[in-house]
Structure 1
Amino acid sequence: MSDTPASPPAASAAARAALPLGTLVAGCLAVCLAQIGLAIPATLNGLFQEHLHPVGSQLTWISDAFLLPVAVLELTFGVLGDLFGRKRLLVGGAALMCAGEAVAAGAMGIHQLWVGQALAGLGAAALFPTSLAMIAAGTHTGAQRARAIALWASSLSAGGFLAPLLGGITGTYGSWRSAFVVVAVLAAVSAAVSLWLAGNSRAPEGRSLDIGGQLTIGAGLFALLYAVIQGPADGWGSAPVVLAFVLAAVFLGLFVAAESRARSPLLRLDLFRNRSFAVASVVAVVGMFSFLGTAYAVSIRLGPIQHQTPLRTAFAFLLLNGITPVLTPLTSRLLHRLPARALLTDGLALIAAGDFLAAGLDAADRDLTSLILPLGLVGVGFAFTVSSITATAVNTVPLPLAGMASAATNLLRDFGFTLGPAVIGAVALSQAASRVTSALTTSPLNAQSRAAAHEVLKEGGPLALNSVPAASPPGAARAYAFDALGHGYAIGFVVCGSAALFSALLVVTALRGREAAESAPRAEDGTQRSVLTTG
């Protein structure tokens, strides 16, 4: 009899400790949506080139207009959620994505498409950190948190898997506008689910906005990306590009000064005194640059260069993104059995091998089976790399700093993602423009065809020349543009492979014997360490 009254309180405590199902569903749907929005334009670059006729670097800005707000504002939205409530950001972020995708779907020109992508990226910047923070805040034990974060990570991977399917199907059987409409509908559903089902949470204690840090890093990163992307089109010595590089250096220097004095900084600079964390940070930028640079080069090869359908392009992106969720159980087990740096080294080496193989493919080879080995290696390598970068960073700093270390690594990883299309587009287009100009000078084409080709090249670059009708005067020069673009993006693959190889060698040489020593004091707290590793 005495045990009976104790049962209801015990059951009530267990219920309070459980993460509400509605919050879990809302958070997982939100991060899946954000990843779909980030990844879906890659399968549509060929259609953008065909219908909107972007010139020079305009195609690159379609991807980076979304990525830049994510890289710059992700940490700030994490603070805003802590201060004012995470449910508001989850609903507002999905609403912003819905609005941005609608603007992109109705774009009458390239500039409106940029605006839509930027709005959607702003929404995604709110969804990525808020969805994870809301799920983590709703759990009260290490085991619950590990399971919830694993589901969140699986939902993110599912978004990367679904995006090429949605883009491929809608782009092939509908239009590129249909793809943005589908994402807008998903965003509206996500906003409604978050509004009706998600529980609210906030943690304002000790949190404040770092206005100086946010303004300086935003201006610095934008100036840097502008200079890198516009360099091939405007000339590396042109006044706007040189000024942008100078402004980037000034504002990034001001960011370092601001963070060293801020009471609640966006980025704890003292973390970089830890050699292992500093190395992991470099690898986060360079390694993720390598992966997304590869993805961008693949999208341009299959789309604007070879003019393959979005559905065929989607096959390549399933190899790049679809392997990660399939390998999640394996990578999770390997992270518990092996040092994170070992898995990180292997993953980067696989990415490098895949890129070097891709660089050797003939640009005229339209057989998708040729891509299976190189892109499969990159996909497996990415699955290992993305899982182990954060683990390498957070397992080598004191436990109280692990949250900041994870957030900083996410920021640097997203910056690497943003650099990928910018740098590879700049390198490939610069090489292609130089090669096609030289080829036209010595070509046997008549004067009218050469003059027309040079005019197209001047206005739109090699991609525009590769897309002109074959029967037009400049059409006779398409073969030269095709060859030059194949050469340029092959060099892009080499750059990506070299970056991944450099990162692998850096991990091997700089972290040899350090990870075990630095993480030893934390080994006693196995539950919390496994939670951090999963996140």
Structure 2
Amino acid sequence: MNDQHRATPDPAPARPAQVRRRSLLAGCSAHAVHDGLTDVIYVLLPVWQAQFALSYAQIGLLRGVYAGTMAGVQLLASRAARHWGRERLLVGGTALAGLAYLLAGQATGLGVLLLALLLGGLGASTQHPLASSLITDTHEAGGGVKEALAQYNFAGDIGKTLVPGLVGLLLAVISWRASVTLVGVLGLVAAGLLWWLIPSRASTSAMRGKAPTTAGPRGAPRGLWALIVTGTLDSAVRMGFLTFLPFLLKAKGAGSAGIGLALTLLFIGGAFGKLFCGYLGARIGMMKTVWLTESSTAGLIVLAVMLPYGGLMLMLPLLGLVLNGTSSVLYGAVPDLVGSAKRDQAFSLFYTGTIGGGALAPVLAGLLSDAVGVTVAVMVLAALLFLTLPLSWHVQRRLPIDDSVPPATA
């Protein structure tokens, strides 16, 4: 990407503060746009169901193929970045995600939609491992990694809030094809912005070389795998619930604009939940925070099924806070379990597990919904959250004594 620009020497080396600013802005922009492109699918699923007469299993398959591709290719994306460059891969992945939505806007059936979402997931696979490692590399030497990752984390939920909400409003005035095409254009514009923002490889490599080397605590591998399973279950319930929340709302009388507003309220709560739960975890510990958020999430999901439309809308910000907040605490525990030399691999494994769980859950929940109904399927998802309680206790035993969980990303 822009090899001539990269090869031209700068008149003076980029200052560390400037490199940190540009990398943080690039990472936050990538996170906001990619999370917005990922979660706008929830608004579009009921539209596609009506347009193409899809079953609930097919709805779950559409959501699952995007998330499954995104999860399965992340390790390959991290390895490919070593050969092709982090900048090229992140920009190219963002452009591919935009092109995927342009293709989805021309879909005439399930097959084209699956192909478009497969390509979208492939492009999205580059964002989490590459953007988070970009921020870590440029901030670790000078300090402030936790604060930078908190901002990166918050930016993702801003994208989840704005893009689905805006598309929900657009669907009330223009066709779904035009709305999806505009989402694709957003992806292409974001790729151009990233091409300009991302610091050169030489600048980021120089700052990474100044960072200290650390080692993980004893027994960390088993703790890491328990953490990955905990995150996988949490993500599976979250993605499964988000996939079928629009259908719960539709059954309670909501239209496209109402579904978009509901998701906006949920994601606003989720954005603040990631910040709040990150700080809460630092004060009371990872395990207590997970027990509090997961138990609350299960109870609120049950209430979401039982409440009427008005009550559900009022409760959604609180549900979003605990639904999304757990992921921040879990992700923040990854650096405490591994040394700095293995951090990139650990993050990739964690992302692969959590996003993989999020990909599989909608498919299984869709099959269950076809068999016994959406309400029962959502209640089963709520019950799964209680499996995270003993797992988080096992992770707690493997953490260092000074269990300080930074607010990070999911």
Could you say which TM-score interval applies, normalised by the shorter chain?
A: 0.7 to 0.9
Does residue 180 of the first structure (1) align with residue 164 of the second (2)? no
Match of 1:302 among 229, 249, 259: 249
Residue equivalent to 2:70: 70
Residue equivalent to 1:490: 375
> Are 1:103 and 1:116, in contact at CA under 8 Å, matched by a contact in 2?
yes
Equivalenced residue count is: 385
Residue equivalent to 2:51: 51
Q: How many Å separate the matches in 1 of 2:97 and 2:76?
A: 17
Cα distance change, pair 53–146 in 1 and its aligned pair in 2 (3 A) = same
Q: How many Å separate the matches in 2 of 1:148 and 1:348?
A: 26
Does residue 341 of the first structure (1) align with residue 287 of the second (2)? yes
Cα distance change, pair 28–491 in 1 and its aligned pair in 2 (3 A) = same
Q: How many Å separate the matches in 2 of 1:125 and 1:324?
A: 22
> Are 1:52 and 1:109, in contact at CA under 8 Å, matched by a contact in 2?
yes
> Are 1:397 and 1:519, in contact at CA under 8 Å, matched by a contact in 2?
no
Residue equivalent to 1:502: 387
Q: How many Å separate the matches in 1 of 2:283 and 2:343?
A: 21
Structure 1 counterpart of 2:408, one-letter code: T
Residue equivalent to 2:37: 37
TM-score by length of 1: 0.66
Secondary structure at the counterpart of residue 295 of structure 1: helix
* Deviation for aligned residue 1:82: 2.7
* Deviation for aligned residue 1:272: 8.9
* Deviation for aligned residue 1:339: 0.9
Residue equivalent to 1:161: 161
* Deviation for aligned residue 1:290: 1.0
| Larger relative contact order (CA 8 Å, sep ≥ 6) | 2
Residue equivalent to 1:259: none
Structure 2 counterpart of 1:58, one-letter code: Q
Q: How many Å separate the matches in 2 of 1:273 and 1:333?
A: 23
Cα distance change, pair 398–197 in 1 and its aligned pair in 2 (3 A) = closer
The within-5 A match list for 1:382-401 is 382-398=323-339, 400-401=341-342
Does residue 420 of the first structure (1) align with residue 361 of the second (2)? yes
* Deviation for aligned residue 1:38: 0.8
* Deviation for aligned residue 1:69: 1.2
Match of 2:296 among 350, 356, 361: 350
The within-5 A match list for 1:458-469 is none
Equivalent pairs: percent with the same residue? 21
* Deviation for aligned residue 1:96: 0.5
Secondary structure at the counterpart of residue 322 of structure 1: helix
Does residue 293 of the first structure (1) align with residue 258 of the second (2)? no
Structure 2: runs of 5+ lacking an equivalent: 1-11, 206-217
> Are 1:105 and 1:181, in contact at CA under 8 Å, matched by a contact in 2?
yes
Cα distance change, pair 21–276 in 1 and its aligned pair in 2 (3 A) = closer
Q: How many Å separate the matches in 2 of 1:196 and 1:292?
A: 33
Does residue 135 of the first structure (1) align with residue 76 of the second (2)? no
> Are 1:86 and 1:130, in contact at CA under 8 Å, matched by a contact in 2?
yes
Secondary structure at the counterpart of residue 341 of structure 1: helix
* Deviation for aligned residue 1:371: 4.3
Cα distance change, pair 140–347 in 1 and its aligned pair in 2 (3 A) = closer
Residue equivalent to 2:408: 534
Cα distance change, pair 140–279 in 1 and its aligned pair in 2 (3 A) = closer
RMSD, matched Cα: 2.8
> Are 1:34 and 1:124, in contact at CA under 8 Å, matched by a contact in 2?
yes
Structure 1: runs of 5+ lacking an equivalent: 1-11, 205-270, 432-487
The within-5 A match list for 1:306-325 is 308-325=254-271
> Are 1:288 and 1:416, in contact at CA under 8 Å, matched by a contact in 2?
yes
> Are 1:19 and 1:135, in contact at CA under 8 Å, matched by a contact in 2?
no
> Are 1:351 and 1:382, in contact at CA under 8 Å, matched by a contact in 2?
yes
Q: How many Å separate the matches in 1 of 2:190 and 2:150?
A: 20
Does residue 326 of the first structure (1) align with residue 272 of the second (2)? yes
> Are 1:135 and 1:148, in contact at CA under 8 Å, matched by a contact in 2?
yes
Q: How many Å separate the matches in 2 of 1:107 and 1:307?
A: 28
> Are 1:324 and 1:380, in contact at CA under 8 Å, matched by a contact in 2?
yes
> Are 2:28 and 2:151, in contact at CA under 8 Å, matched by a contact in 1?
yes
The within-5 A match list for 1:92-111 is 92-111=92-111
Does residue 369 of the first structure (1) align with residue 311 of the second (2)? yes
Q: How many Å separate the matches in 2 of 1:328 and 1:277?
A: 21
Q: How many Å separate the matches in 2 of 1:490 and 1:283?
A: 24
Cα distance change, pair 326–391 in 1 and its aligned pair in 2 (3 A) = closer
Cα distance change, pair 151–369 in 1 and its aligned pair in 2 (3 A) = same
Secondary structure at the counterpart of residue 201 of structure 2: coil
> Are 2:150 and 2:275, in contact at CA under 8 Å, matched by a contact in 1?
no
> Are 1:291 and 1:378, in contact at CA under 8 Å, matched by a contact in 2?
no
TM-score by length of 2: 0.85
Cα distance change, pair 349–530 in 1 and its aligned pair in 2 (3 A) = closer
* Deviation for aligned residue 1:93: 0.9
